[in-house]
Amino acid sequence: MRPPAYDGLYQLLMVRQRSLRTYRGFSVVNTLHLISGLPRSGSTLLCALLRQNPRFKAAMTSPVSSLCTALHKKMCGGEFAVFFDDAKRAAMLRSVFDAYYADVQFSQVVFDTNRTWTGRAALLGELYPASRIICCVRETGWIIDSIERMLAKNPLQLSRMFQFQPGTSVYSRVESLMNSESGLIGLSWSNLREAWFGDEARRLIIVPYDHLVRAPERTLRRLYDALGEPWFSHDFDNVVYDEPDYDALLGMPGLHKVRQKVEHQERKPGIPPDIFAKFAHTHFWEKPELNVRDVPIL
């Protein structure tokens, strides 16, 4: 049996080796993919499934995108901008991923989740040329309905999603959600559409919510093929994931809790039918004539 001092020295050497590897230009995060798309469209479920594979590191929305945004802004504007060139900016931004995922093994695949990644496809291509952006999508009416159902389940809570405002109607909430600059749905929809029609569309992989819940194994097998990863046998009857502290902070307990069994559940919508009709034309990924970049839809 090795003495405790040996284990401590070994851990110190491993940390030192990792630090040197990062310093010399080798990223701790070797393989990176992003999970993005629309809210309430299966991204948490997809992460819960992917994390069953011990080679994969996946979770719900991370702060990496926000950290990169703040750092990028500092390096491009202000009094210190003159000290940075593109090479330094790239190294600094990659270091955010390396620091946040410092616990991953070099052989692991990292899936970072944030709905804003579709708006930064070109930047991701510069930092991680082999990265793919997995976009979870769903009909807008059902996204709105899902959010309204969560609000109805927590009537004594006020949601950060709506600035903790009480007494608003579903119509005013929809207007807020669909704002193209700041809305939970509108901004992510705009970013997805930008990436869909842009030069970086080759990075996109579309995962429709209905496909994921109706045929999870077929959908995941196609995703593994698209990523060039060897298949891992997932357990679709025992999927566990929850973030109670984060959801409580949002004022929406249960928002990211995943049901144990992956299955489609039939239900009637709880929002007015005119809202469904208003956004029926927004599902551009369902129209073959608009898929001018041949984006794969799993």
pLDDT tens-digit profile of 190-233? 999 999 999 999 999 999 999 999 999 999 999 999 999 999 99
Whole-angstrom distance, CA of residue 213 vs CA of residue 269: 17
DSSP label of 263: -
Q: What residues does 135 pair with on adjacent strands? A: 36, 206
pLDDT surpasses 80 at 7: no
b/e 232-254 (16+ beta carbons within 10 angstroms → b): eebeeeebebebeeebeebbbee
Encoding tokens for residue 229?
Answer: 């990863």
- Residue count of the chain: 298
Encoding tokens for residue 125?
Answer: 């291509």
DSSP label of 232: -
pLDDT of residue 152: 82
Q: What residues does 112 pair with on adjacent strands? A: 34
Angle at 161 between CA 194 and CA 99, to 5 degrees: 65
> CA separation (Å) from 265 to 35, 80, 144, 262?
24, 54, 17, 9
Helix ranges restricted to H, the chain: 4-23, 43-50, 64-76, 86-100, 121-127, 140-153, 170-177, 186-197, 209-214, 216-227, 244-250, 273-278
pLDDT of residue 11: 43
Tell me the pLDDT of the chain averaged across its residues: 87
Among the ranges given (7-21, 86-100, 212-226), the one the predictor scored with the smallest mean pLDDT: 7-21
Tracing tokens 């956004």 back to the chain, one arrives at 279
Question: pLDDT per residue over 24-53, tens digit each?
Answer: 345 688 899 999 999 999 999 999 999 999
Do 40 and 147 meet the contact criterion of CB atoms below 8 Å apart?
yes
The pTM (predicted TM-score) of the whole model is: 0.87
Give the chain's domains with CATH numbers. Answer: 4-290 (3.40.50)
Do 25 and 98 meet the contact criterion of CB atoms below 8 Å apart?
no
